[in-house]
Amino acid sequence: MKAFEYAAPSTKEQAVALLGDRWEEAAILAGGTDLLSCMKDNLMAPSRVVDIKGLRDLGGIEYNPQSGLRLGALVTFEQLREHPQVLSRYPGIVQAVEGVTSAQIRNRGSVGGDLNQRPRCWYYRNGFGLLAKDEQGRSLVVDGENRYHAILGNEGPAYFVNPSSLAPVLIALGARVRLFGPKGGRELPLEKFFTIPKTDSEHENVLQPNEILTEVLIPAGSWQTATYEVRQKEALDWPLAAASVALKLGGAQVQEARVVLGHVAPIPWRVPEAEKILTRKTITEEIAMEAGKAAVGQARPLSQNGYKVQLARVAVKRALLRAVQGGA
């Protein structure tokens, strides 16, 4: 790990002033569960670490039936899981949180950190670069070990999957994010926050090196949500594929549906093809299966990850059934 300066500002203005114009200058520290691993592995070597845990207005969960749900960036997984309204109204969020089976990470990991964590691609984490290329510029992933890589949005040069478990369900709920930078704040749909980098120096989202993600806003609305993750094991691990759905129901009929896949593409992957199938339908096993099929219609697996197509299909089906049945 490179030696660094540690700063602990108490306002977001101070924090932003401590950040730099380039990623190498400074990094934001929230729970540190990802940042510190990246620094220890020399994937990130910021000269300054800006600890934002002292920024009061970045905390807190507020629910209001008129305005919806507001999550401060510093809210932890565990706080989400314990919040009465999140528990009762947003089971899809809780299911995503509970997939993270480490108490330590749930206690420490934050919403802002989850949305900004770096990909777990094993080439990237072993120091072969975000886009994992050999000396000739060829992708290591395409001809290499790609069992955990992307099946969608993988035209290249990025093949990693977005690691966030919260992003799919938040996008399904139409969440917006607020960013704060030297010129003040800006707000955008979370769906538009994530981007697929084309070069090694780009990141996986629109955040600028001197910006902070300050909060997540979920508009009011009565959505049935569910998340289904396919995990090989129950102890701490990453999903092989996941789906989050949000359904607006009129009686048993779907008025509007949002279906978002996780861990299958370099960004959380919204699938309008599946949403279309669900509109004005009653969710049955058959419809759910059809939506699952449609969700992976565009999938183009790499040499070793064809199985993820099946897993994503099943995840959509099971998430939909879970959303209408509640519980399991």
Partner 1 sequence: MPEYRWPEIGTTSLIGKRINRVDGPEKVTGRAKYTYDLKRPGMLYGKMLRCPHAHARILSIDTSEAEKLSGVAAVHIVQEPGTEIQWAGDDVVAVAAVTEQITEDAIRRIKVEYEKLPHLVREEDLAKAGDRVKPFTEQVTGDPDQAFQAADTVVVEGEYGLPVVTHCCLEVHGQVAEWEGDRVTIYPSIQGVERVAGQYAQALGVPASNVRTLMQYVGGGFGSKVAADRWGTACAQLAKKAGKPVRLMLERKEDQEVAGNRPSDFARIKLAATRDGTITAWQSESWGTGGPGGGGSPPIPYIWQIPNQRKIHSAIATNCGPARAWRAPNHPQACYLTMCPIDDLAAKLNMDPLDLVVKNVSLLGPRAELYRQELAKAAELMEWKKNWHPRGDRSPGPMKRGMGLSLHTWGGGGHSSECQVSIHPDGSVEVSLCTQDIGTGTRTVLTIVTAETLGLPVEAIRLNIGDNRLPPSGNSGGSTTVGGVSSSTRRAALNALEQLFLTVAPSLGVSPEQLEAVGGQIRVKGDPTKSLSWKQATAKLGVASIKEMGKQPGPQPNPGELTSSGVGGVQMADVSVDVETGVVKVNKIVAVQDCGLIIDMKTAESQVYGALIMGICYSLMEERVMDQLTGRMLNANMEFYKLAGLADIGELVVHMWTDPEQQRRGVIGLGEPPVISPGAVIANAVASAIGVRVPYLPLTPPRVLAALEKGGMV
Ligand X SMILES: Cc1cc2nc3c(=O)[nH]c(=O)nc-3n(C[C@H](O)[C@H](O)[C@H](O)COP(=O)(O)OP(=O)(O)OC[C@H]3O[C@@H](n4cnc5c(N)ncnc54)[C@H](O)[C@@H]3O)c2cc1C
Residue 312 CA: distances (Å) to CA of 33, 98, 299: 27, 19, 10
Phi/psi of residue 61, nearest 5 degrees = -115, 125
Q: Which is nearer to ligand X, 89 or 118 (CB)?
A: 118
Q: Which stretch binds partner 1 (CB under 8 A): 7-15, 59-67, 143-151, 167-175?
A: 143-151
Among 21, 236, 286, 298, binds partner 1 (CB under 8 A): 236
User: What residue 128 binds from ligand X, partner 1, none (CB within 5 to 8 A, per partner kind)?
Assistant: partner 1
User: What residue 143 binds from ligand X, partner 1, none (CB within 5 to 8 A, per partner kind)?
Assistant: partner 1
Q: Coil, helix or strand for 56?
A: helix
Q: Which is nearer to ligand X, 168 or 277 (CB)?
A: 168
Q: Minimum CB separation from ligand X for residue 27, in Å? A: 5
What region, left, alpha or beta, does residue 327 occupy, with left being phi > 0 and alpha being psi -120 to 50 degrees? left
Q: Which is nearer to partner 1, 248 or 293 (CB)?
A: 293
233 binds partner 1 (CB under 8 A): yes
Count Cβ atoms below 10 Å from residue 85 Cβ, excluding itself: 13
Report the alpha-carbon distance of residue 183 to residue 185 in Å, rounded. 7
Amino acid at 300: R
Q: Which residues contact 230 (CB under 8 A, 6 or more apart)?
A: 239, 240, 241, 242, 311, 314, 315
Q: Which is nearer to ligand X, 230 or 299 (CB)?
A: 230
Taken as a whole, the chain contains a residue count of 328
Positive or negative torsion for Cα 100, 102, 105, 107: positive
Alpha helices by DSSP H, listed for 28-119, are 35-40, 77-82, 84-89, 91-99, 103-108, 111-116
Among 43, 129, 174, 307, binds partner 1 (CB under 8 A): 307
120 binds partner 1 (CB under 8 A): yes
Q: Which is nearer to ligand X, 82 or 273 (CB)?
A: 82
Q: Which is nearer to ligand X, 99 or 292 (CB)?
A: 99
The footprint of ligand X (CB under 6 A) covers 27-35, 52, 73, 99-100, 105, 108-110, 112-114, 116-117, 163-166, 207, 212-213, 236, 238-239
Q: 178 is written with which tokens? A: 């607020």
23 binds partner 1 (CB under 8 A): no
Question: Which positions lie near partner 1, rule CB under 8 A?
Answer: 1-3, 101, 120, 122-123, 125-126, 128, 134, 140, 143-145, 147-148, 230-238, 240, 304-307, 310-311, 314
